[in-house]
Amino acid sequence: MRAALNRANFVGGLFSFRNIKSMSSSSTQNFVSRSVIKKVFAKLQKEGDGAVVRRGISRSEQKLLDPFLMLDEFSVSPPAGFPDHPHRGFETVTYVLEGGITHQDFKGHKGTIYAGDVQWMTAGRGIIHSEMPEEEINKGLQLWINLSSNKKMIEPNYQELSSSDIPKAEQDGVQVKVIAGESMGIQSPVYTRTPTMFLDFTLDPGAQFHQKVPESWNAFAYVLESGESGAVFGSSNASPVSAHNVVVFGQGNDGVSVWNKSSSKKLRFVLIAGEPLGEPVVQYGPFVMNTQAEIDMTIEDYHYGKNGFEMAKYWRSQ
């Protein structure tokens, strides 16, 4: 990423609105919410070189949450980080919550994203990159989104949005940042190869909201901040959900309802939804394909530096 992010920056890819008909509503009239079918507490674990993550989505949730492969809430301080590593077959979305992350790859793309900025990276046929902390405290989310079989071998691509370029709206004590998709009548400019919604909500104490989601899409929420009795999803009398929990919703109905039952603390969560691919998933670490034969070929390509990994033997991040 480029260090100066003062406008939307799209490198070698498409700029397009995705109309997913996800109009939002602040009224409960005629709105039928999806039910909560699973809650997963994101436990701390080590990742990269000395970094710590809370893994909210892992392989056990992939069938419920197709096309999503992984969600990490990361926390990293120098000298720890995520040094040179490869990817193939999917996209990564990095959303910085605090500090900054410096990225560089073997195609010469380099820059830093700071708090509130987003990098939407399509690894496609192959990328090798590093993601290293810029400040003393650096926190954020990284989401992995699968690509369909006919898009897994496309050329790598980046979409970058600074915080000031992310569309925002507010009504009735609810604020939303529209990273992908649509809410409160505003749309993100991000083009999603796998149709995706990524919304960052903040609810004042006592506020509620009802977000439409296409019926066939899979959806989940991840709670970032919440009061003791704050985050309530699906039904107003449901049990509250604490921070660092993934809330998985069933399919169907109009969308997702949420209430902040706290009397004093704001509720912050991301709502993420996407159109299922319905394809086999074979994953080997940072490689995600449809068959074991394709994984074997990917490992060979990476080892011998071919079919998208030509620079693998020679490139090292600075």
Which amino acids are annotated as binding site, given as ranges?
85, 87, 129, 131
Q: For residue 8, what are the CA distances in angstroms to 14, 16, 90, 119, 162?
A: 12, 12, 22, 11, 7
Q: For residue 32, what are the CA distances in angstroms to 51, 211, 226?
A: 41, 10, 24
CA atoms within 13 A on the CB side of 96: 27
Give the Cα separation of 262 and 195 in Å (integer).
Answer: 33
Structure tokens at 101: 């992350």
Long-range contacts of 56-61 (CB under 8 A, 24+ apart): 56/222, 56/244, 56/245, 56/246, 57/220, 57/246, 59/283, 61/246, 61/248
Cα 44–chain centre separation: 18
Feature table: binding site for Fe cation: 85, 87, 129, 131
Interacting residues of 299 by C-beta distance below 8 A, sequence separation 6+: 284, 287
Judge contact between 270 and 224, C-beta under 8 A: yes
Element (H, E) at 2: none
User: How many angstroms separate the most distant Cα atoms in the chain?
Assistant: 60
Structure tokens at 247: 């809330």
